């Protein structure tokens, strides 16, 4: 697939991916920062900042102005915060590219961060936190990562804690933004229907005021000297038990990550996988059972998730353990390996159908 990459004077990388036979485009601004770049005191600031960018700019001072401008043309927009990156995107009809670019550059370069909006959004995030606590299928992943990494940034929740969220000040937020939201730490991607030369020119003009410099790096992952508990149980009245089983794996620059991904696919990455067939199809013990790998800069993990009847929890854990043992002793078959590779070839082809 054709693409063009340029680097602006401030260090920001811009990538354009023209696509034929589509009438829309997606614009995504990514920054290489997230909750792993926080301290205990500022835990949650990456996510808080992501929310605040939408709460008014110099040219769109009211919090609803940004959503209104995009809703008026039927565009979709959102943002997300992860442990090592944060993104802001707009998907719109291709002829609205100037508006999409203007919105994304406006929120990132001219935010107001009014005190009253900060306090209102703090309340919104507390409710988001409660929503996650009421969603055990999601919350179990946070618990699992805290078991793997302990009391360090990779083990902390992206949203922060009640204490850290309450303690975040406007000064904390501005300091973090100044440290991390700079050109060399940013990538802008435009994919879809547009004139490439015109798009690159507009991007360069829009983001010329993004500061240059070097962003603060995150501390490298270090094994805890303390022995971490291998199990954590948390009780909440639900209709299912949600469980995860797994171990630390490989980082995003480790070539072994490819083998780990294929193993996860064979074990639980598709409906014909071993665990899906054994736990759901043969025994009816779960609606959802899956295996994934996660990669961070210098570490990662391999995990299996399942939502099961309370009284069948031990049986499901035992069957997952047994499948792990089988893989460790006999591996997967050549046929399973080929099927996993073909699965990802197909998934990759499908992913290229959308911007």
pLDDT at 83 over 90: yes
Q: How far is CA 345 from the centre of its chain?
A: 22
Q: Are residues 247 and 337 in the same domain?
A: yes
| Percent of the chain predicted with pLDDT > 90 | 95
Q: Are residues 273 and 162 in the same domain?
A: no
pLDDT tens-digit map of 275-306: 999 999 999 999 999 999 999 999 999 999 99
Q: Are residues 170 and 263 in the same domain?
A: no
What pLDDT does residue 329 have?
96
Asked if residue 213 is part of any domain, the answer here is: no
Q: What is the mean pLDDT of residues 25-42?
A: 98
What is the count of structural domains for the chain? 2
Nearest Cα to 173, choosing from 264, 76, 56, 47?
47
What pLDDT does residue 347 have?
96
Other CB atoms within 10 Å distance of the CB of residue 68: 11
What pLDDT does residue 354 have?
87
Q: Are residues 186 and 266 in the same domain?
A: no
What pLDDT does residue 350 have?
94
What pLDDT does residue 1 have?
81
Q: What is the pTM of this model?
A: 0.95
What pLDDT does residue 223 have?
78
Asked if residue 276 is part of any domain, the answer here is: yes
Q: Are residues 299 and 199 in the same domain?
A: no
Q: Are residues 322 and 190 in the same domain?
A: no
Tell me the pLDDT band of 141, cut-offs 50, 70 and 90: very high
Longest CA–CA separation in the chain, Å = 63
Per-residue DSSP letter, 277: I
pLDDT tens-digit map of 116-129: 999 999 999 999 99
pLDDT tens-digit map of 231-245: 999 999 999 999 999
Q: Are residues 125 and 16 in the same domain?
A: yes
**Lowest-confidence range among 101-105, 223-227, 272-276?**
223-227
Q: Which of 9, 38, 50, 171 is catalytic?
A: 50
DSSP secondary structure string for all residues of 302-351? EEEEEEE-GGGHHHHHHHHHHHHHHHHHH---HHHHHHHHHHHHHHHHHH
Q: Of the residues 154, 184, 206, which one is the last residue of a structural domain?
A: 206
Bridge partners, 303 (sequence order) = 246, 292
pLDDT at 36 over 90: yes
Cβ burial 160-182 (10 Å sphere, 16+ → b, else e)? beeebbeebeeebbeebbeebbb
Asked if residue 224 is part of any domain, the answer here is: no
Asked if residue 223 is part of any domain, the answer here is: no
What's the CA gap between 336 and 327, in Å, rounded?
12
Q: Which CATH number fits the domain that encloses residue 153?
A: 3.30.830.10
Residues 35/86, Cβ–Cβ less than 8 Å: no
Other CB atoms within 10 Å distance of the CB of residue 213: 12
Query: Residue 335: which domain range?
Result: 241-351
DSSP secondary structure string for all residues of 181-222? -SGGGEEEEEEESS-HHHHHHHHHHHTTTS--S-PPPPPPP-
Q: Are residues 172 and 285 in the same domain?
A: no
pLDDT at 227 over 90: no
Other CB atoms within 10 Å distance of the CB of residue 119: 10
Q: Are residues 259 and 131 in the same domain?
A: no
Asked if residue 217 is part of any domain, the answer here is: no
Tell me the pLDDT band of 225, cut-offs 50, 70 and 90: low
Compute the mean pLDDT over every residue in the chain, rounded to the nearest whole number: 96
Q: Are residues 268 and 148 in the same domain?
A: no
What's the CA gap between 348 and 182, in Å, rounded?
31
What pLDDT does residue 63 have?
87
pLDDT tens-digit map of 156-204: 999 999 999 999 999 999 999 999 999 999 999 999 999 999 999 999 9
In the residue annotation, 50 being an active-site residue is answered as yes
């Amino acid at each position: 697939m054709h693409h063009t990459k340029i680097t602006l004077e401030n260090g920001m990388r811009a990538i354009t991916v023209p696509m034929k036979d589509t009438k829309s485009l997606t614009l995504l601004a990514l920054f290489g920062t997230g909750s792993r770049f926080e301290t205990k005191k500022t835990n949650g600031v990456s996510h808080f900042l992501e929310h605040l960018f939408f709460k008014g700019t110099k040219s769109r001072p009211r919090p609803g102005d940004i959503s209104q401008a995009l809703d008026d043309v039927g565009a979709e927009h959102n943002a997300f915060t992860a442990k090592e990156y944060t993104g802001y995107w707009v998907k719109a009809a291709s002829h609205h590219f100037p508006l999409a670019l203007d919105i994304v550059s406006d929120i990132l370069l001219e935010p107001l961060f009014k005190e009253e909006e900060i306090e209102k959004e703090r309340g919104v995030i507390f409710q988001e936190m409660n929503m996650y606590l009421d969603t055990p299928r999601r919350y179990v992943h946070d618990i699992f990562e805290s078991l793997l990494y302990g009391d360090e940034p990779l083990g902390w929740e992206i949203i922060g804690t009640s204490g850290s969220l309450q303690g975040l000040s406007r000064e904390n937020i501005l300091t973090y933004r100044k440290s991390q939201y700079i050109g060399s730490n940013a990538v802008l991607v435009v994919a879809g229907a547009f004139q490439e030369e015109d798009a690159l020119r507009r991007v360069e003009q829009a983001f010329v005021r993004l500061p240059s410099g070097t962003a603060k790096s995150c501390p490298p992952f270090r094994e805890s000297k303390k022995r971490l508990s291998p199990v954590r149980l948390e009780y909440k009245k639900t209709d299912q038990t949600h469980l995860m089983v797994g171990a630390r794996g490989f980082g995003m620059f480790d070539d072994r990550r490819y083998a780990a991904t294929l193993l996860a696919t064979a074990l639980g990455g598709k409906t014909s996988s071993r665990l899906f067939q054994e736990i759901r199809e043969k025994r009816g013990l779960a609606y959802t059972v899956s295996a994934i790998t996660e990669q961070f800069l210098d570490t990662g993990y391999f995990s299996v998730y399942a939502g099961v009847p309370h009284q069948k929890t031990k049986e499901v854990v035992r069957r997952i353990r047994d499948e792990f043992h089988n893989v460790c002793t006999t591996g997967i078959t050549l046929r399973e390996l080929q099927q996993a590779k073909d699965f990802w070839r197909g998934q990759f082809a499908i992913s290229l159908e959308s911007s």
